[in-house]
Structures are given as structure tokens and as C-alpha cells.
Amino acid sequence: MPVACSHLERIQLRKMFQCVRDGAADHLAKIVLYGVPNIINYNDPDIGVTPLIVAVQENRIHMLKVKIVDFEGRTALMRAAVEGNVELFHSLLESKANRHAIDLAGENVLFHCIFPTERHLHCLRLVLLDKIDVNLQNKNGETVLYRACKKAKENEEFILELLKCDADPNLQTIRGRTALMEACQTDSVLVITGCVLQGANLELSDKQGNRAIHEASRVGQLKALFALSAFGADFKAVDKKGNTALHYAAASSEQCCKFLGQRGCDARIKNEDGQLPRNVATEQGKKLCVRELRKLERTSGKLIKNANPKLIRLYDWSVTRANEISARFLELAEYLAIETERVRTSQLEEVALSAMDMTSTDQIPLTAVGGQEELDTARTVGTEQTATTRDSSKTRGKGKRTSRRGRKGASGIGGVSVLEPIKRLSKDDMETVFQSLQAPYDSYTMWSELMKLHEKNGDASVDWAEFMTGKKYVNKAYMVSAFEGKKGGKKKSKKGGKARKSKIPFEISTLPEEAIYRRADGGPPIMYIPKQSVHTDLTRFNAEAPPSHPFQDDSSWYLNEPKRQYISFHAAAKNNDLASIRLAITEGYPVDTRDKFYKTPLMMAAHHGSLEAAMVLVGFG
């Protein structure tokens, strides 16, 4: 693109910028027609913008064309995406702006839509409505998915939109990095899960041999480690320097060290420098990590109850996808509750209809029970039993009435309100839910054993909420609660002991901010006074050879004046800085200036025994 170099070109270009800002279309047309040829495509020599770029920034896009780029090769569509201007972005797309254009860095418009705001997300969705290369790599080999995963926690919605459009999470940069590696440095389990379900390879490594497990351990992201364990990551992986995930976790978090040791990472492996993970933690000063790693070295290879690796992985998977699993179970439980209520209602209606058919006022039916009176008695008893059954179903449980919810059922039955979801599901229903989410259990035998652990009285049903906790098939040390901080409870006082007296809170009174006055010239508060500095040439005079008379010291005539320094009025009184005190008084500082604790300089001098400063302060009043 041409650059405005001459004086005339610069003047006309800046005049065009002003016309764009003012909306003067007629004047702009005259400059384009009679001015420097092709002036509309010239770039500003300072910042590289064109009239079109200014139009995008000033919301005047209807005045100019769209096929112009700046010094970085960015089109107006890219600039509109950077600004997050949805209206301009939409109008540019309607005017058939080139959405496939690539700037000098090798990036298309998708790269410029990645910014954590709703407006940028809307721009991204507008671009994705039409076919566009979501797997385009720039000159560094980065894809737009990789760029978004660098801040995965902020860009979760952007990443999910890209994954829906078949973005490839396995594409590597020049350094061999993948989007999953960047996502593992954050605690965004949603992004990690989405990448893995899209086909991300957990075993890919960069040029240094680092995998996703190493990246999560390096920054101490425990949630990311849970997600990687859920999808079967290799915790024994070693990079090119011989470092395991524990070597990286040793410098970040003791909880990550504990988790990695439980999931199969060996704490006794040395790297190429001959260091154990414990040695790395010692160098970094991580005492808690050292303690945890010593424990792992002692317990390595020992059998622990309820520590089956397959069941642990199933538990980690259920923790990672807890929201999806709970939603499926809740939906199924509500549906079954509706169906149960519908069947019960239909049965009661059939009983009532059959009773009405048998009723006849004109004839006395011949029955095995006897006459009409006995038949009425039987119907009365049946009605009472039905009413009793209804009441018992409402008050089932520990004598408490179960509340009904007023929202409509998902089954589509008109006018039917959803009852309280049932708590126990059949084994087949449980297995259906887990199979639909591709749960990591490998055999029917394993699933049958899990169901037996959660059955009660052999009723072939399981409490799904209890199953989600994992308490019956995983050791307590492997659960999420084991990695949470201990709750500090109050210690119980011994019986018969003296009750400790509680301390009465005593508030220290301090000077409010509005009562602290400052200098008129904007200097520090008046409790800080200018410090008197000796203006002497140290090459001629010093403590051993001072000037014999003050007039002999002519340093102030040829030395530069030093910068003004300030010292606390109270510190000057404490240290007997009499020169600074006299200078402050001559400049009009009040002698009874108070600090934030309401102390005066005289109080400070008296407290520290500064006799000379106290005498000077008393002399000044």
C-alpha cells in the first residue's frame, strides 16, 4: 500500500480523515476526484491507517469501499472484529467483504474475534455462519483454537463454538504445542473435556517432550489433572530431560503431588540431572511438597484398599462430567416419576369406572357377596382403602410431606406437573446413562460388582445420588474431599477447666483522610517536611576535612541543585534533624502537625529523649 510521504499527500490524507469523522461525503468526493490520484488507498505515515480504517472506527462505513488494508495487512472486517463493532461487522459482511482474507501474520478474521466480550462472540458466530477455514495456521503454526485456549477460562464459549465447527485440537505449532496443552494450564474442565471429545490426543508432545500432563502439573491445576485422569492420560510419561509430572508439580503444589502419586506417577524416578522430585521441591523451598513426596516414596508399591485403577478412573470421570451426569439422571428420574403417576392415575380411573358400571338403582344385582347393602359396604371399604393409599403415598418417608414442583414435565404431557424425582433407578437405566456418555468401564462384570455395592435389600435399584459420591467403591484418600483444605473447627474446652476470657476488641483511632491536608503545590501531606540537605562538594570537603568557615564552601555556585526530598516531621524530631525543622517552620509548616495517630513532633521528641529537638520545638511555640 502507498504511504503518504510528501507534504501535499499528508495534508490531503488528513483532510480525508477529518471528512470521514464529520460525515462530509461531498467534500470527501471532491478530494478523491481532484486530489492526489489514488489518495483513498494511501496509508498514514505514522500509524498506517487508511480512510477506510478511520471510517470503521468512527462508524462511517457507508462512505468508503472495503478492499483496503493497513500496514499489517488487516482489512476493515478485521478491524471491525478487533473493535467488537457488531453493527459495522454485520454491514461489512452484507456488502460481501472478503471473510477469507489473510493479513501479513497469516491470520484470518477469526483470530481477531477472540476477546472475552459478548460483542466479539457475536462477531465470531456471524463469521461461522458461512464456510471458513477454522483450522488455518498462521506463520507460527498457531490456529484460532490454540489462540483461544491460551486463556481458556475466559474464552470457553468461543472454544465451544469453534469445536462445534470441527476445529482440530491436534494441530501443532512450530514448537509442537497443541490447544490441549494450553488449556491444561488453566482450570477450565469444560474446555479440556470438549477438546478430548473432539478427538484431542493426550499423548502428543512438543519438541521438548512435554505433554498435557506436564503442563497441568507445571502450574498446579488440580482440576485439569482430574480431567486428564478421567480420559486415561499416561501419568508415567517422561519428557526429553527425564522429568516426570511429579518433577514439575514439586515446584507448584503439594496437592498435585499427592494426586499424581495416587494415580501412578513414581516418586522415585530421577531426571537426567539425577534429581528426585523431592530434590526439586527442596531447591524451590516447597516444604509441604517435600513432606508429601517423602510420604509417596515410602508408600510407593504398597497395596491400598479400594484403590483399583479402573474404578479410580471411573470416579475421576464422574467428577469431571458431574454436571452432565446429574442432568441426565435428573431428567430420567423426573420422567419416570411422571410415568409412575400416570399409570397409577389410570388404574384408579379404571377402578372407578368399573364401580360405576356395576352400580344400578333399579335392580338389585345377584352377587356372590349377597344383597345390595353388602355390595355398598364393600364399595365403601374399597373407597376408604384407595383414599388411605393416596394419603400414604403423599406422606411416604420419615413422616414428612414431600413437596411437589410446579414446573412442567419434559415428557410433553400437557397440564401435568412434575412430581419429586425418584431417587432410586434400576441398574439398566443407570447403565444406559453411563453408556450414552461413554463412561470408562470395560466389562459387564465390573459394572455388576458396582451395582451390587449400591443395592439395598436386593431390589435391583440404585440411589444415583449416592453412586455419584463414589464412597462405596473408592478409598476416601482418592476422593475430591481429600484434596480440599481442612476446615478449622473450634477446639472443645476440657470439662472442669477455666473458661478463657474473650478479648474485648479495642478500636485504634486514626486521623481520617479528609483531615490530612496537602501542600498547595500538590506535594505530599503536611506531616512530611522538606529535608535540609548539605550542598557540599565531596571532592573538596568531607567529615575529616570540613571547611574552616561557611563562606569558604562555595560548592553551591558550581554544583547542580539536588532534588528536593521530604522527611516526616516526627522522624526529624526523633532524630534531632534541627536543620529540617527550622526549614519547615520558615516555610510555614505548623509546629503542632499531627500524624495519623494524633501525635505531635514534640510528643515524639519527648518519647525518644531528643532533647535538642524538643527545645527547638518549644522555642517555636
Domain ranges of the chain: 322-358+417-481, 513-619
pTM of the model: 0.61
CA dist., res. 210 & res. 521, Å (int): 58
Angstrom CA distances, 371 to 357, 365, 366, 368, 376, stand at 17, 7, 7, 9, 9
CA dist., res. 29 & res. 11, Å (int): 16
Which candidate, 314, 309, 311, places its Cα nearest to that of 235? 309
Question: What nine digits make up the cell of 262?
Answer: 495416587
Residue 121: pLDDT band with limits 50, 70, 90: very high
Mean pLDDT is highest, among 27-36, 398-407, 605-614, for: 605-614
CA dist., res. 396 & res. 422, Å (int): 12
Give the mean pLDDT of 389-395: 43
Phi/psi at 478 (5° precision): -95, -5
Write the pLDDT tens digit of every residue in 277-303.
999 999 989 899 999 999 998 887 676
Please report which helix (H) or strand (E) contains residue 352, including its range: helix 322-358
Write the pLDDT tens digit of every residue in 37-50.
777 778 888 888 88
Cα-to-chain-centroid distance, residue 227: 16
- Return mean pLDDT, the chain: 80
Residue 240: is its pLDDT beyond 60?
yes
Residue 105: is its pLDDT beyond 60?
yes
Q: What does the buried/exposed string (b/e) look like for 325-342 if buried means 16 or more CB atoms within 10 Å of the residue's CB?
A: beebbeebbbbbbbeebe
**Under CATH, which number does the domain 322-358+417-481 receive?**
1.10.238
Residue 273: is its pLDDT beyond 60?
yes
Residue 382: is its pLDDT beyond 70?
no
Query: CA 471, 423, 470 angle in degrees (round to 5)?
Result: 15
Residue 256: pLDDT band with limits 50, 70, 90: very high
* Burial class of residue 343 (count of CB atoms within 10 Å of its CB; 0-12, 13-18, 19+): exposed
Write the pLDDT tens digit of every residue in 545-582.
777 776 667 766 666 677 778 888 888 888 888 888 88
Question: What nine digits make up the cell of 614?
Answer: 524538643
Q: What is the CA radius of gyration of the chain?
A: 40
Contact by Cβ (8 Å): 228, 216: yes
pLDDT at 362 (0 to 100): 45
Give the mean pLDDT of 59-74: 64
**Helix 156-164 × helix 118-128 angle, to 10°:** 10
What is the topology classification, in CATH, of domain 513-619? 1.25.40
pLDDT at 464 (0 to 100): 80
Residue 69: pLDDT band with limits 50, 70, 90: low
Comparing 454 with 408, the larger pLDDT belongs to 454
Residue 407: pLDDT band with limits 50, 70, 90: very low
Write the pLDDT tens digit of every residue in 174-210.
999 999 999 999 889 999 999 999 999 999 999 999 9
Residues written for the chain = 621
Share of the chain above pLDDT 90, in %: 26
Write the pLDDT tens digit of every residue in 411-423.
444 444 546 777 7
Write the pLDDT tens digit of every residue in 508-520.
778 887 778 887 7
CB atoms within 10 A of CB 354: 9
Residue 429: pLDDT band with limits 50, 70, 90: confident
User: What letter would DSSP give residue 476?
Assistant: G
CB atoms within 10 A of CB 132: 15
Write the pLDDT tens digit of every residue in 557-567.
666 677 778 88
Write the pLDDT tens digit of every residue in 170-184.
999 999 999 999 999
Angstrom CA distances, 500 to 45, 352, 488, 494, 497, stand at 77, 72, 19, 11, 9
Which candidate, 222, 244, 220, 217, places its Cα nearest to that of 300? 244
Residue 146: is its pLDDT beyond 90?
yes
* Residues whose CB falls within 8 Å of the CB of residue 208, separated by 6 or more in sequence, listed in order: 176, 239, 240, 241
CA dist., res. 409 & res. 341, Å (int): 12
pLDDT at 539 (0 to 100): 66
CA dist., res. 276 & res. 270, Å (int): 5
